[in-house]
Amino acid sequence: MSIDTWLLYLFAILLIAISPGTMAVLSMGHGIHYGKSRSVATAFGSVTSALILMMASAAGLGALLNATEYGFTILKWCGGAYLLFLGVKLLLTKADGQGLKLERTKGTGQPYQLFKQAFLVGISNPKDLLFFAALFPQFIDITAPQGPQLAILAITWAVVDFSFVMIYACMANVLAPTLKSSNKLHWFDRTSGGVFITLAAILLIR
């Protein structure tokens, strides 16, 4: 994997991580109610679920490469189209007037409970599996060994994911009031949509 490809991947996932999704909401809730130090367990739960989904996506990618000569190219174009679809969908969303809601999570805030909650939130979202399947082929060079490349992509994602979960947990008291405004949350959705559309265009043109 070239440094240019890795930097593009890093830039893409940084923009994705900034956008406040379900895990960001959970992280802020844990940060507010249980503190920063306990939220480390939340970050590990998020990373663990993501790594499992990545391995599942990589297994499917490997099977496709073994099954057909043109499968990788087809998957790459389908993945780019899926990223474009996500971008357009987010760009066209309308404000619902509700904004961000941080509800107190169940339990006493023990680390294993926070880990479990974050893991279940991450692993129970089938869209993440589809997202990884769409994203990874865009950065894989099939003329080189895929294992090391997938390891680099997974480790980079894990570091970024862990970092942003902790950022949301540590800055929850500052971020939560801001994101409770439906208009500001809607602005995040539109920005995320623009990111996905731009990313899809760049990857399909490369």
What are the distances in angstroms from CA 158 to CA 5, 78, 115, 153?
Answer: 17, 25, 15, 9
> Does residue 80 belong to any structural domain of this protein?
yes
HSE, CB side, 13 Å, CA atoms: give it for residue 94.
Answer: 1
Q: Where is pLDDT greater, at 195 or 41? A: 41
Ramachandran region, residue 107 (left: φ > 0; alpha: ψ -120 to 50; beta: rest): left
Q: Among 56-70, 81-95, 96-110, name the one with the lowest average pLDDT.
A: 96-110
> Does residue 27 belong to any structural domain of this protein?
no
> Does residue 106 belong to any structural domain of this protein?
no
Range 140-144 average pLDDT: 78
> Does residue 23 belong to any structural domain of this protein?
no
**How many separate domains does the chain show?**
1
Cβ burial of 156 (10 Å; 0-12, 13-18, 19+) is middle
> Does residue 135 belong to any structural domain of this protein?
yes
pTM above 0.75, yes or no: no
> Does residue 58 belong to any structural domain of this protein?
yes
Range 26-33 average pLDDT: 79
Task: Let me know: does 10 contact 82? Beta carbons within 8 Å.
Answer: no
Q: Where is pLDDT greater, at 96 or 136? A: 136
> Does residue 34 belong to any structural domain of this protein?
no
**pLDDT at position 50 over 70:** yes
pLDDT for the residue 55 = 83
**pLDDT at position 15 over 80:** no
pLDDT for the residue 69 = 59
**pLDDT at position 110 over 70:** yes
**pLDDT at position 148 over 80:** yes
**pLDDT at position 175 over 60:** yes
Range of the domain at 120: 3-14+41-92+111-205
> Does residue 31 belong to any structural domain of this protein?
no
